[in-house]
Chain A
Amino acid sequence: MNTNPIIRVENVSKTFQLSRKQQKSEGTTRKEIVAVNDLSFTANQGEIFGLLGPNGAGKTTTLRMLATLIAPDHGDAFIDGLSIVSQPAQVRAKIGFLTSELKLEDFFTPNYLFDFFSHLYNIDNETIETRKKALFERFGIQKFAHVKVANLSTGMKQKTSLVVSLVHDPDIIIFDEPTNGLDVLTARTVTDYLCELRDAGKTIILSTHIFSLVEKLCDRVGIIINGKMTHCGTIAEICDGQSLEDRFFTIYQDVMERSAQ
């Protein structure tokens, strides 16, 4: 494995202001919530790096900052040397980002959407056709390539989203909960493909709270709790002889006890 850090996250923080409505629904009087607090880590080229943490830990916020959808309040992150703060458009050209929150327009077909997103990345027509053929074959999309997204099943939509996020063959892929909401067959297709991408030298950073997925896929893991990175390393380094699940709960209890004090 290459130890050249292609993603460098340096002291990144993000705070969200809470509206009165949000304060009410959260049952708090706090006017703001710290989603990510002084977070730093690196991901090396050709590895799958997993961000593991409970709901609300700050995983999605971290990935959205890396995808330049939102900007950090403090700190910066560098994707292949490009700053997410000062060079967001160049960063977006380098990465593929997929989350279940990003949707495809129901009116269009996978075939149209592949072409449309390829044109946004300024890919020439010949390359578009070659990549489309390869990816559609890999995910079995040819069967429904000309069916409107509105008429596709959840699994088909997810496969289409995955393919559309990879039209430009990015070297860095950011996945927020990659198997969330997928049936077992589609989930298996996606995880197998992630391994293929890693073997092809791509860097993948993903967030999840599924331990088995981390154990199966990830070369290195960062554990995030309450917006802070508590542990970062290979699974063997973090687990220290325990199962990942047991180790995670020990870490979680320690953090919660310390924050209670």
Chain B
Amino acid sequence: MKSNIGTIIKKECSRFFGDKTMFFTNVIMPGFLIYIIYSLMGDFFMKSDVDEEPTIVYVENMSETMRPILETLPYKYVTSDFNATSIKSDLSKKEQNYVFLAFPAQFDSIINAYSSDSVHASSNVSIFYNSTSDKSKEAYYLLSETLNHWEEGVCNLFNINEITKENLRYDMASDEDVIRNYFGELIPLLMLMMVFSGCMAIVPASIAGEKERGTLATLLVTPLKRSELALGKVLSVTLFTMLSGLSCFVGMMLSLPKLIHADELGLSTSMYQTSDYVALLLIILSTVLVITSLSSILSAKVTSVKAASSLMVPLMVICLFVGMLPMMMSDISNAPYLFLIPVFNSVQSMAMALEQEMTATILLITLISNCLYALGLVWVLTKMFNSEKVMFSK
């Protein structure tokens, strides 16, 4: 008797691709939304840097010594024709987005009279601001940092990494290495998030949903083997989750240059070769296989889509924590045996592929171990489909 796995996959595909709403919300929309959101975020950050009206800084007793330094900052200075008392008191009102900078009288004379061996009381420069306003707060930090920096320069012994006219580079890593490292830390976590969001939309509906609606029992009275049903279901949901994940991946890769302002920074994602993308795709596919198999088991355990989705949340939290490890730990070992640990191996392998440090051994260990885990989980799912306690519990 021929295997019915294909029949089950065909039916699941007819269900998924035949339902335009389901296909649109799970495949088209995630990638499209990610592209739009990331691009908008990039544009927004860019705009906030460039287009904003300059913050007004009211200055009392403007120092002629400090004027050229202050004028390098992107602020509009008002040094006369204002009432200092009312400007200061109005700052206490919520969301006032200006700063009041007060130099002491005779500030320039005091500064000019300074010598490193003289002993005298320090004079105070006051910067009044309103912390509920981002513009006022930012101006306060920049002004105080600039003035402090200048003050340190008066009794200067040495500087660290001084910015020179030649724009000497102190970080010796290449731009490409920087972006590889950045992608290696960020993308595994984003991919796991995408896989899980796809999984949570697809797997509970396919397994717990069929139990809930009573349609799974209809299949169980046919000669269909439970193993065929389990494998057919897992392969189908893996395919759909993979499509959802790929849609997110494409959306992310297209929008990432905009998000990180790659053009302005002179960065490019073209440093990756086909083999890097193939390795990444295989790792993602094997990861999706493990996660959908595990989610299928959780989904088969309960009797409703709602309960299945709730049960998947702790699994998602654990996996996302593992996904954050490359960001939190810089010295994770690359010992081959560690690549036998599910999810961790996927995260580390993805990071290695993106940092172009992947080796054939590590890739093979990750892919084979993930496939074996998936097979084991399908075996458990088959046992569950055979269990009347699981399938017909109320």
Contacts and interface: CB of A to CB of B under 8 A. Distances in A.
Interface of A: 22, 67-71, 89-90, 92-93, 95, 97, 101-108, 112, 116-117, 119-122, 164-165
B225 A69 contact: no
Nearest to B213: A103
Contacts of B18: 107
B192 to A, nearest CB: 30
Contacts of A119: 4, 7
B1 interface: yes
22 contacts: A22-B394, A67-B221, A69-B392, A89-B223, A93-B223, A95-B221, A97-B221, A102-B215, A102-B221, A103-B213, A105-B210, A105-B215, A106-B213, A112-B14, A116-B7, A117-B222, A119-B4, A119-B7, A120-B7, A120-B222, A120-B223, A164-B218
Given A92-B221, A102-B218, A120-B223, 20 more contacts: A68-B221, A69-B220, A70-B388, A89-B223, A89-B225, A92-B222, A95-B221, A101-B214, A101-B217, A102-B214, A103-B217, A104-B218, A105-B213, A108-B15, A112-B14, A117-B222, A119-B7, A120-B4, A121-B223, A164-B218
A107 B214 CA distance: 14
Interface residues of B, number: 25
A101 B220 CA distance: 12
B281 interface: no
A122 B11 contact: no
Nearest to B210: A105
Contacts, number: 62
A69 B388 contact: yes
B7 A102 contact: no
B277 to A, nearest CB: 35
B218 A103 contact: yes
B51 interface: no
Contact of B11 (A71, A97, A116): A116
Interface in B1-41: 1-2, 4, 7, 11, 14-15, 18-19
A1 to B, nearest CB: 27
Interface string B350-394: 000000000000000000000000000000000000001000101
Nearest to B212: A103
B223 A92 contact: yes
A254 B60 CA distance: 108
Contacts of A97: 221
A226 B394 CA distance: 21
B319 to A, nearest CB: 30
B279 to A, nearest CB: 37
A103 B221 contact: no
B46 interface: no
Contacts of B225: 89
B215 A70 contact: no
A77 to B, nearest CB: 15
Contacts of A105: 15, 210, 213, 215
Q: Count chain A CB atoms within 10 A of each CB in B210, B214, B223, B388 and give the residue with the most.
A: B223
Contact of B217 (A69, A93, A95): A69
A93 B388 CA distance: 19
B388 A71 contact: yes
B178 to A, nearest CB: 49
B271 interface: no
B282 interface: no
Q: Count chain B CB atoms within 10 A of each CB in A97, A119, A164 and give the residue with the most.
A: A119
Contacts of B14: 108, 112
B328 interface: no
